Amino acid sequence: MSSIFLPDIFAETVFDIDVDALKKSGIKAFIFDIDNTLATYAMPIADKKTADWIMELKDKGFGIFIVSNNNRERVRVFAENLNVRHFGKALKPLDIFLRKACRIMGVKPKETALVGDQLFTDIWGGNLIGMKTILVKPISDVEDGFVKFKRRFERRILSKMDKQR
């Protein structure tokens, strides 16, 4: 029942993602969440380590897109600083902006890795359209009330999965 919420891959942080293995398996592009995936909610732009890593992905030939549910101004400032195309107010898990991002990058959803920190927005959205989904641990535990609320249900699903492994 809950497998639609479960990621294909767990990574402690984005830096732990084995991008070369993904490339070999046919992944051509990454779609990133921002908040608690690439930066904390409080950081208006990415830190240098993250910016360098994104640059590395571009150099390796990956398409890069940011698709975030946060407001458009937050997303624009963050993404333009990285020189990455972006959609804010993306309504994940709805697929409309995820599909649009793929179309713009010229890749299919199954050739795209979706990286995020939330099961019920990022992972669910990516799984619904057949993307490779990668769950990272939230960078910070500073989150708003609704995110905290969803975390309770995430923990339930993740602990069930631990028992199955």
Residues at the interface with Mg ion (CB under 5 A): 33, 35-36, 117
Measure CA 21 to chain center. 18
Sequence-ordered list of residues with C-beta below 8 angstroms from that of 17, at least 6 positions apart, any chain? 9, 11, 113, 115, 134
From the number of C-beta atoms within 10 Å of its C-beta (0-12, 13-18, 19+), residue 54 rates as: buried
Q: Which is nearer to Mg ion, 27 or 115 (by Cβ)?
A: 115
Q: Which is nearer to Mg ion, 33 or 154 (by Cβ)?
A: 33
Question: What's the min distance (Å) between Cβ of 117 and Mg ion?
Answer: 4
The token duo for 16 is: 């732990």
What's the CA angle centered on 43, arms 63 and 68, to 5 degrees? 45
Q: Which is nearer to Mg ion, 21 or 149 (by Cβ)?
A: 149
Question: What's the min distance (Å) between Cβ of 160 and Mg ion?
Answer: 22
- Helix H or strand E segment including 22: helix 19-24
Question: What's the min distance (Å) between Cβ of 95 and Mg ion?
Answer: 17
Q: Which is nearer to Mg ion, 35 or 111 (by Cβ)?
A: 35
Question: What's the min distance (Å) between Cβ of 106 and Mg ion?
Answer: 26
On whether the CB atoms of residues 13 and 36 are closer than 8 A, the answer is: no
Q: Which is nearer to Mg ion, 14 or 102 (by Cβ)?
A: 14
Measured from each CB, the residue nearest to Mg ion is: 35
The token duo for 71 is: 């407001």
Question: What's the min distance (Å) between Cβ of 137 and Mg ion?
Answer: 11
